Structure 1
Amino acid sequence: MRVRATIDGQTVWQTREVSALSGGGAGGQGSLTVHIGLGDAAQAELIEVYWPSGYTQSLTNQAADQYLTIVEDDGGLVSGYAYLDANQNCQRDAGEPGLPGRVMEVLPGPYYVTTNDSGYYALSLPLGSYTVHQVAEPGWQQSCPAAGSYSLTASAQGQQLLGNDFGSQALCQGPELSVSLGFTAFRRGQENSGSYTIHNRGPEAASPLSLHLDLGAAGFLSGASLPWDAVTVLPDGGRRYSWDLPSLPAFGQLTIQLTDSIAANAAEGASLDILATATTSGPACATTQATASFSAEVTGSVDPNDMLVYPAGIGPGHVIQPSDTLYYRIRFQNLGNAPAARVEIVDTLPATLDLSTLRFIGKSHPGVESVSEDGVLRWVFAPIYLPDSLSDEAGSHGFVDFAILPQAGLPAGTRIAHQAWISFDYQAAIATPPVFRTLGLRNGEVPVEAEVWVSPQPVETTGLVSVRIPGTPAVDLPLEQVDLYALDGRYLQS
């Protein structure tokens, strides 16, 4: 990069190379920060950045005495709104709200992006010609644009393609509730953070609104951003936390930030189950009640930047069925000594996962998620101002959730493995430990029905295990391998 400024009456050009090893200032090793001295100049008249892609980006008349974050312009930025077209005039009028959570597909690619809480979406694209359309949403009918989609051409670097709005009408005029849950690691003896989010995706308010959160016996809430109205003890020793609210407006969202504590004597590896329920007594589009559940193991010390996947699967190979939906959670934590203004998560899905079945489920902070044509998932939280763990340990955590199915027709034994990369404020990305699952039986195959005999019971030191297949002659053959599991599915030994 190079910078032009008038210093002591002279036009001066200064050049810097920016790399992971050339940053200036204290602790410059590994930094992407450079410092430019401007003397008595009040501004940098021109900043030119020469990106590795070959693109030259220019900024003019930038004031002195400031830090600038410069990100490479994309080929084209397509953006717009999804909104309620109440009067069917194909334009967003005052009082017509944006529709959150709508999915836009861009072809060729495909590329995907979802609208934020205001109904806004934006997606960066390489140079080329594209068609943008809104993925159909149950209970809604798209009314605009008349052609059903937009045809666009990104012909120049940094071009902005604005105003690609989609109007829709609700087929039902009642509220439509949905619930999502998210938690960081359940660490025994420590406080952990989570969130309980309720959406009303319908065009009318949900009134009144009753919320319940059932927490297993190993845990309890120590705080909430919205204080609960009541807490009761459940028959299994768990607790139910209740909130009674007058209403949740149309297209509204309520997120309750939670702080939970796990008992110090909770068994490591034990399962902690959480159930959330939102109920309205008024007429609703789909149902008057929405639920969400969450289950995870109680842990000791954990890597704060990791990826989890459920179901856990059976045995050391984490064997699952081809029809199992895989639920992924990527967790992150700011372990620095200052708040992080920006967090980005990138997860490249393996070809063994079916991209067409992808569902974004939830996230801990407001942000934008997108999917590229080659299955690269990206979440960007900016600005997020995520506290550092030294000043606010509980607030330094975050997460994203998504669900997806394996590709159909994969053979038994196929391994589904991947990992995510997390970066804070453009620093070098942190890789999560890889996770994997193994496909079990092919669709259509039937397991052998057999009787397993163990004696004596209970086994103290030595036992005999035999397998008998009904209807077949008895044959004295050694078993090649016996895998032992606990009643809750945990692998013990072979």
Structure 2
Amino acid sequence: MNWKRFYLSLSFLLAFLGSGELMAQCGNFRAYAYPDSSTCPAQSVQAYTSGGQSPYTYQWSTGATTASIATPSLGTYSVTVQDANGCTTTDTIVVNTFSLSAVSIVDASCGNNNGQIQLSVSGSGPYDLRWYTANWQYVGSGMTLANVPAGSYTVQAYDSTTQCYESQTYTVGGGNGPQATILPDTSSCPVNTLFASVSGGAASYTYHWSNGATTSSISNLAAAQNYTLVVIDPNGCADTTNYYIDTLCNQQPPCNISILMLDDSIGCPANWVHAMPSGGTSPYSYAWSNGQTTASISNLVAGFNYMVTVTDATGCTASSSYYVDTTNCNQQPSCNISILMLDDSIGCPANWVHAMPSGGTSPYSYAWSNGQTTASISNLVAGFNYMVTVTDATGCTASSSYYVDTTNCNQQPVCNMQAYTYTQGCPADTLSAYAWNGAAPYTYSWSTGLTVTTQSNRHDAYASNGAGQYSVTITDANGCIAVSSVQVNSQAPMQVGYTINDASCGQNDGAIDLTVSGGDSMYMYSWSNNVSNGWQEDQSNLAPGVYSVYVYDSSGCSVYLDSLIVNGSGTINPSMTPANCLDSLGAIALNPTGFSNPQFVWNTGDTGPNLNNLASGVYTVTITDDSCQTARTFFLDQDSSCAIMIAGRVTDNTAGGTCAQGTAEAFRLVRLQPAGIITTTNQYGYYQFTVMQTGNYTVELLPDGVSSQLCPAANISVNAANVGGYYGGNDFVVTHPPVNDLRVNLVHYSTSTPGFSLYTYVYYCNDGNTTQNATITVDYDSQLEFNTTAQNPRYNNATYYAYSNAVMTSHDAVNNNIVFTANNLGAGECGLIRIYLNTPTTVALGDQVANSVAITPISGDATPANNTDVDSLIVVGSWDPNEIVLRPTRSGDPRGQAEIFEQDDVLDYTIHFQNLGTAPAYTVVVRDTLDASFDVSSLTNLQFSHPATMTVENGNILVFTFNNINLPDADSDEPGSHGFINYSIDRDPNLPLGSVIPNKAAIYFDFNAPVITNLSEAMISAPTSTRQVELLNTSFKVFPNPSQGQYFISFEQNQTQDLHLQVYNMQGQLLLEQTQADAPTSGQMSFDLSNFPAAHYLLRINGQEQLIQKQ
């Protein structure tokens, strides 16, 4: 169950003590009416409560007084709930239909991205509509999908009022291109003139013959030569055909006459026969051995053989014969009667049986072994065998028998009943039991002594003994028994207090300090307003404003604090008008509030709160009032009317070897000089630069180390002479050598936290140019769970999603691996697999979990190093979801200070982000300023959680832009509120040992201040010449350490127990494990790492009392 929604089904009591704490009163009592979203329209609605005191009474607008009601008709339903304190609250819900239909579909003209789908939606709204390609690539949202190429598109629609979900798939056609045919002039031999015949497409065709001609016909042709014609219409649609000039003009066609002999199938022997020729040239002539010359002859003589010769119009001949056979004329028909025995399926044993014959000639007669002659007999004797013989009208007979069986008559019903238990209330005070696959009535016997018999398969009881373990035994009408138990944790209500420190003058240094007690431990925090460390308990570096927070405990209970006001000694709410490149009419308005006698000093010399008539540039203001001073800096940009667009496409035409566009080259790096701007192509191979200055530019396709640039042979020059102009068609065509090259990448979308899902993404690509069948194997940590029957409501109740032909073929829960296959993976095709792994609540904070993935076949792969990937995580209870993570890391923290080795020339970074605000984010921009030690032109393996573009500013700032991402906020859709970026980049291989490579990013959600990630620092070191294990616990000593491979462990412990030893590398892969049974209170163990390379390793020792684990 999604924990973000789970708290709505719980009631909780807020009891806060002391200054600044919030008391639970009627103002906190809420009712929520939710529809049964399994059907649309909903067939029932359920009332939930929060903030009140049980028991509750319900009053629906229909007159019903139960917590849930049926909704047989469409309309609005309201419920009023009263708790034990007399507090009342009301909520309403709309039950309505929800459907989609396409108003219009506009096909894409050949080769263009101008297709469109217009939807009509019937429901209550507001709606969330998201569009995907056939490979499940996100391409847009809303009622209209525009500017798309031909293909299949699926819209996933959600009605937030009725909570109905609908999915439909529509096809955008490719339009009709020209269809070309070459017609020869056959008056001469060999042919000397060819004519182009074209239909379809748009008129005004252009013709391109292989001899260089551009007319609709060509003459004076060379014999024994092939001529190719390409026809192109004004939309760029093309068709190709060819014609070979044959010199075999005077050869006679071959003779291929065949003769089918048809006879008189009624008479026996046959009285006539007909010769039917084919494969020749009509008309045909006939010559029979009896002198006749027609196609058919009659009055045949039995036992005689007749010959015929057929001649066609070209003189070709063929012969055949027919024999008048009398062998089978007097044979009797065969008997094929079968009998179906139908019995009395209601009684046990059966009381009657019916014989049903088929395959003979009616009418039928019946002879039973008990003397009866009808088709059915009754009053059967148990355990007796009855025989019947059936005779048809031709005298054919068949027999069958029926045994009156009593074996299964007195069998007892099979017991498949299952029992489930859970708790309700915050803190939990209600026990709920649920019976499945049983028969009413049910008897519930609780461990509290309560026993109740009811027709319902659900029963609620009060947890009368407080916290502890409760069990229930359920017995159904068939005597089937099922037992289940549930744990009731803390009975103390969760209490949240807070202290607020206001912000200084014009600064963002406010703070909120929470104090949490009661409930179940391991609290989670969800803050509003996109604060930078939203999952931590306390917040700092806050601007003046109003904040709110949800606090959750491990049972799903929650407390909500709103109106947490951080005051300040003055704030500004600036607004900016971009400069226009033609008349420089930009402006900045500070809109100050809360200052006392403020004074303003700008770097321009102005002294007011506003600046006007500005060109683009950097502007700084210092604000001084009676008590404080602060400064702000603004960058004023130019508006879009000044923008000059330079665009093109990169494609692969290895198959054709020409300059014609081929398949898209996604995520290729393209550079614009002299601006020094680098961007990437999108998934369809298109790229675009935006510049503000007119002039001459050069477009360069940066090499990727695999392909070769075919067309053009050099860079492309662009004379951008007009402000606001568009300069397109700057296309590159590349070729690839024949190569097999599969690649796989593992990305963890979230953290490993006890009780929550670990969203794991597996990206796989065919970087080669041959179609391959791939196998993807995911090995997940033994501490994690993959439940193939679990449901994730966000993704159509699927436990995993697999795209681009990938399907799950096996799951081994013992060895913790999942296998997928992706057959017919085309050149350049990529796919995605989403897997939802669960971290059980029994996993301890601080433990390490490691998952890995491999794609095969590896043999013959051009870059086998990227056929595997591994990622390890530390189990955490709270975290910052906006972060940057480094791989590989030989030791240390991949989110902080980490160690890499000299051979680690390529570094991989993943930037995670999450919308922690109170509304969807429509635009997300991530700016990653790279250290000078990185080679920007080496960027590879670009992967995004949502469609995005990437540009490079100032030669070292990566700018990732997610336009129209519509990223949900965490409160409304926690799984959907995440996003990420992944890329690989080369570092300077000549950096000395000890060099530190820093990296951090700034994340912008719409127009809010940036969220700054953690600082990742990679220090370069050399692998040690020995193997070293670190174990910091005085009761265990490892020696020698470092070692050449052989280790000894001296240990002391409180009691005799089994000791289990495991050795991991720093990527989390298990290398060695062994167990010493009944280890004494003091002694020694040993292990050998001689077969492993020199490096740091992790030693883990498990005993019954403790876990020793250190790097």
TM-score (norm 1): 0.69
User: What SS is found at the alignment partner of 1:210?
Assistant: strand
Specify whether residues 464 and 219 from structure 1 end up closer, same or farther in structure 2 by C-alpha distance, changes over 3 A only: closer
Select between 297-306 and 192-201 the one with higher mean Cα deviation: 192-201
- Provide the C-alpha distance between the structure 2 equivalents of 1:453 and 1:88, rounded to a whole number of angstroms: 58
Corresponding residue for 2:615? 54
1:302 aligns with 2:879: yes
Aligned AA (1:160): Y
1:275 aligns with 2:852: yes
Correspondences of 1:255-294 after superposition (within 5 Å): 255-279=832-856, 286=862, 291-294=867-870
Corresponding residue for 2:762? 196
- Provide the C-alpha distance between the structure 2 equivalents of 1:274 and 1:419, rounded to a whole number of angstroms: 25
TM-fit CA distance, 1:361 = 3.9
1:160 aligns with 2:737: no
TM-fit CA distance, 1:468 = 11
Cα deviation per residue 1:60-91 (whole Å; 9 max; x = unaligned)? xxxxxxxxxx9843753322111133544424
1:459 aligns with 2:1028: no
Aligned AA (1:254): G
- Provide the C-alpha distance between the structure 1 equivalents of 2:587 and 2:645, rounded to a whole number of angstroms: 18
TM-fit CA distance, 1:215 = 1.5
Contact 1:277–1:289 (CA<8 Å) still a contact in 2? Answer: no
- Provide the C-alpha distance between the structure 1 equivalents of 2:708 and 2:986, rounded to a whole number of angstroms: 27
Aligned counterpart in structure 1 of residue 707 of structure 2, from 126, 140, 144:
140
Contact 2:809–2:821 (CA<8 Å) still a contact in 1? Answer: no
Corresponding residue for 2:748? 183
1:399 aligns with 2:977: no
- Provide the C-alpha distance between the structure 2 equivalents of 1:303 and 1:452, rounded to a whole number of angstroms: 30
Contact 1:211–1:277 (CA<8 Å) still a contact in 2? Answer: yes
Corresponding residue for 1:76? 644
Corresponding residue for 2:776? 211
- Provide the C-alpha distance between the structure 2 equivalents of 1:170 and 1:349, rounded to a whole number of angstroms: 30
User: What SS is found at the alignment partner of 1:217?
Assistant: coil
Contact 1:229–1:242 (CA<8 Å) still a contact in 2? Answer: yes
Contact 1:75–1:156 (CA<8 Å) still a contact in 2? Answer: no
1:425 aligns with 2:1000: no
Contact 2:650–2:664 (CA<8 Å) still a contact in 1? Answer: yes
Corresponding residue for 2:958? 377
User: What SS is found at the alignment partner of 1:395?
Assistant: helix
TM-fit CA distance, 1:447 = 6.8
Aligned AA (1:134): L
Corresponding residue for 1:225? 801
- Provide the C-alpha distance between the structure 1 equivalents of 2:1099 and 2:968, rounded to a whole number of angstroms: 41
Cα deviation per residue 1:464-486 (whole Å; 9 max; x = unaligned)? 999999xxxxxxxxxxxxxx995
Corresponding residue for 2:677? 111
Specify whether residues 309 and 263 from structure 1 end up closer, same or farther in structure 2 by C-alpha distance, changes over 3 A only: same
TM-fit CA distance, 1:289 = 11
Aligned AA (2:671): E
- Provide the C-alpha distance between the structure 2 equivalents of 1:320 and 1:292, rounded to a whole number of angstroms: 19
Specify whether residues 273 and 159 from structure 1 end up closer, same or farther in structure 2 by C-alpha distance, changes over 3 A only: farther
- Provide the C-alpha distance between the structure 1 equivalents of 2:734 and 2:972, rounded to a whole number of angstroms: 45
Cα deviation per residue 1:259-294 (whole Å; 9 max; x = unaligned)? 23222222434333333334479x988489972313
Corresponding residue for 1:389? 970
- Provide the C-alpha distance between the structure 2 equivalents of 1:257 and 1:271, rounded to a whole number of angstroms: 21
- Provide the C-alpha distance between the structure 2 equivalents of 1:331 and 1:219, rounded to a whole number of angstroms: 22
Aligned AA (1:78): I
TM-fit CA distance, 1:340 = 2.0
Corresponding residue for 1:62? none
TM-fit CA distance, 1:364 = 1.6
Specify whether residues 71 and 398 from structure 1 end up closer, same or farther in structure 2 by C-alpha distance, changes over 3 A only: farther
Contact 1:75–1:154 (CA<8 Å) still a contact in 2? Answer: no
Q: Please list every run of 5 or more consecutive structure 1 residues that lacks an aligned counterpart in the other structure.
A: 1-20, 22-28, 35-47, 57-69, 470-483
Asked which structure has the greater CA Rg, the reply is 2
Aligned AA (1:54): A
Contact 1:216–1:238 (CA<8 Å) still a contact in 2? Answer: no
Corresponding residue for 1:337? 918
Contact 1:51–1:72 (CA<8 Å) still a contact in 2? Answer: no
TM-fit CA distance, 1:108 = 3.6
Contact 1:80–1:165 (CA<8 Å) still a contact in 2? Answer: yes
TM-fit CA distance, 1:103 = 2.0
Specify whether residues 109 and 459 from structure 1 end up closer, same or farther in structure 2 by C-alpha distance, changes over 3 A only: same
Corresponding residue for 1:169? 735
1:97 aligns with 2:658: no
Aligned counterpart in structure 2 of residue 321 of structure 1, from 880, 901, 904:
901
Select between 239-248 and 418-427 the one with higher mean Cα deviation: 239-248
Corresponding residue for 1:38? none
- Provide the C-alpha distance between the structure 2 equivalents of 1:272 and 1:288, rounded to a whole number of angstroms: 25
Higher relative contact order (CA 8 A, sep 6+): 1
User: What SS is found at the alignment partner of 1:389?
Assistant: coil
Aligned AA (1:276): V
- Provide the C-alpha distance between the structure 2 equivalents of 1:450 and 1:485, rounded to a whole number of angstroms: 8
Corresponding residue for 1:481? none
Q: How many residues align?
A: 414
Contact 1:315–1:485 (CA<8 Å) still a contact in 2? Answer: no
Aligned AA (1:460): S
- Provide the C-alpha distance between the structure 2 equivalents of 1:176 and 1:350, rounded to a whole number of angstroms: 30
Contact 1:308–1:328 (CA<8 Å) still a contact in 2? Answer: yes
TM-fit CA distance, 1:393 = 0.7
1:440 aligns with 2:1021: yes
- Provide the C-alpha distance between the structure 1 equivalents of 2:1025 and 2:760, rounded to a whole number of angstroms: 43
Aligned AA (2:1034): V
User: What SS is found at the alignment partner of 1:180?
Assistant: strand
TM-fit CA distance, 1:343 = 1.2
Aligned AA (1:107): Q
Q: Please list every run of 5 or more consecutive structure 2 residues that lacks an aligned counterpart in the other structure.
A: 1-542, 544-570, 577-583, 589-613, 618-636, 791-798, 1044-1095, 1101-1107
Specify whether residues 238 and 391 from structure 1 end up closer, same or farther in structure 2 by C-alpha distance, changes over 3 A only: farther
Contact 2:900–2:1018 (CA<8 Å) still a contact in 1? Answer: yes
- Provide the C-alpha distance between the structure 2 equivalents of 1:89 and 1:51, rounded to a whole number of angstroms: 52
Specify whether residues 278 and 418 from structure 1 end up closer, same or farther in structure 2 by C-alpha distance, changes over 3 A only: closer
Corresponding residue for 1:248? 825
Select between 181-190 and 390-399 the one with higher mean Cα deviation: 181-190
Contact 1:219–1:261 (CA<8 Å) still a contact in 2? Answer: yes
Specify whether residues 249 and 315 from structure 1 end up closer, same or farther in structure 2 by C-alpha distance, changes over 3 A only: closer
Root-mean-square deviation (Å): 4.5
Specify whether residues 284 and 144 from structure 1 end up closer, same or farther in structure 2 by C-alpha distance, changes over 3 A only: farther
- Provide the C-alpha distance between the structure 2 equivalents of 1:83 and 1:274, rounded to a whole number of angstroms: 35
User: What SS is found at the alignment partner of 1:371?
Assistant: strand
**What stretches of structure 1 move > 6 A for 4+ residues in a row?**
29-34, 287-290, 446-454, 463-469, 490-493
